[in-house]
Amino acid sequence: MPAKLITPSEAYLQSYLTVCRDCKARGITAYPLHDPDDFETWRHTIFQSYENKHLGIGLKEGRVPSSTFWLVKGGEFIGEGNIRHCLTEALERYGGHIGYCIRPDYWRKGYGTLQLRLLLAEAARLGLPRVLITCDEDNLASARVMEKSGAVYQDTIGNIIEGIPTRTKRYWADTVPCPLTPPKGKDQKWTSSA
């Protein structure tokens, strides 16, 4: 059964919780999942909260609407991605349009790249022709996932994140492939009509 991207669903909640516990135990902070120790608090609100963020209801100051997706396979939660519907000045410097993570026991099997490609298709459906994606300068895995998904490096800038100086790499990715014009003669090549 191939992995697929879905709207977060109750059917994968226990698997998601297991991954939240694993990420917390490993001290992974690059992409925030829920705190497993507060499960009883968020288990009843998680899906409505995602829906509200998608619709832009009750957003905190400075936040923009965003859509969350889960990558799942065979009953297991594999990863999560979040698409911000627009940028703010802060997101232009750090965060960009798309954030993502893959559960640690599935790293280096291609799921990060698959998930970002599926997220780019969702971004296109949300009306975003190009997206900004950022990562810490030392996050080699995230940078490689972006490059393998066709994102183009823009620059590296300095940020202060929660009081800590950070170097942030910024990439842009097209969410829709250029439409191709078929060759008219046998000597002509496929060309982009965009």
Ligand X SMILES: CC(C)(COP(=O)(O)OP(=O)(O)OC[C@H]1O[C@@H](n2cnc3c(N)ncnc32)[C@H](O)[C@@H]1OP(=O)(O)O)[C@@H](O)C(=O)NCCC(=O)NCCS
Whether the Cβ atoms of residue 97 and residue 91 lie closer than 8 Å to each other: yes
Please tell me whether residue 64 binds ligand X under the rule CB under 6 A: no
Least spacing, CB of residue 49 vs ligand X, in Å:
21
* x-or-dash string of contact with ligand X, 68-97, rule CB under 6 A: ------------------------------
Which positions ≥6 away from 61 have C-beta within 8 Å?
Answer: none
Q: Which is nearer to ligand X, 25 or 30 (CB)?
A: 30
Among 24, 31, 42, 85, binds ligand X (CB under 6 A): 31
In angstroms, the first-to-last Cα distance of the chain is: 36
CA pseudo-torsion sign 87, 92, 93, 97: positive
Select 5 or 145, whichever has its Cβ closest to ligand X: 145
With CA atoms as reference, report the closest residue to 126 among 193, 65, 58: 65
* Binding status of residue 30 toward ligand X by CB under 6 A: yes
Amino acid residing at 66: S
Task: Enumerate residues 132-171 that contact ligand X by CB under 6 A.
Answer: 135, 139-142, 144-145, 148
